[in-house]
Amino acid sequence: MGELRRRLRYLLNRNQHAQDLADEMRLHRDLLSQSPTRSLGNLTQLHENSRAVWIWPFLETLVQDARYALRTLRANPGFAATAVLSLALGIGANTAIFSILNAVMLRSLPVEDPQRLVQLGSPNSSGTSPLSINFTNPIWEEVRDRQQAFSGTLAYFPDRFDLTAGGESHFVEGLWVSGDYFRVLGVPAMRGRVFTPDDDLHGGGRAGPVAVISHTFWKRHFASDPDIVGKTVRLDRHLFTIVGVTPPWFTGLDVDTHYDVAIPIGCEPILHTDRSALAARSWWWLRILGRLKPGETLPQADAKMKALAPEVDQQAASPDGEEQSSHRTQYGEQQAFGHKLAHHAAARRADGHADGDLALAGGGAGQQ
- Per-residue pLDDT band at 363 (split at 50, 70, 90): very low
pLDDT for residue 264 is more than 80: yes
So where are the chain's domains? 2-75, 114-366
- Per-residue pLDDT band at 367 (split at 50, 70, 90): very low
Mean pLDDT within 316-340: 39
Q: Tens digit of pLDDT for each residue in 66-102?
A: 777 777 777 777 766 776 666 665 555 444 433 222 3
CB of 198 closer than 8 Å to CB of 286: no
- Per-residue pLDDT band at 203 (split at 50, 70, 90): very high
Q: What is the DSSP letter of 97?
A: H
- Per-residue pLDDT band at 166 (split at 50, 70, 90): confident
CB of 153 closer than 8 Å to CB of 143: yes
pLDDT for residue 348 is more than 90: no
pLDDT for residue 331 is more than 60: no
pLDDT for residue 315 is more than 70: yes
CB of 261 closer than 8 Å to CB of 176: no
pLDDT top residue among 334 and 105: 105
Nearest CA among 267, 294, 309 for reference residue 365: 294
- What pLDDT score was predicted for residue 138? 94
To the question of pTM greater than 0.85 for the whole model, the response is: no
Q: Tens digit of pLDDT for each residue in 6-65?
A: 666 666 666 666 677 677 767 767 666 666 666 666 666 666 666 665 565 656 676 677
Q: Tens digit of pLDDT for each residue in 110-145?
A: 888 888 888 877 755 555 555 678 889 999 999 999
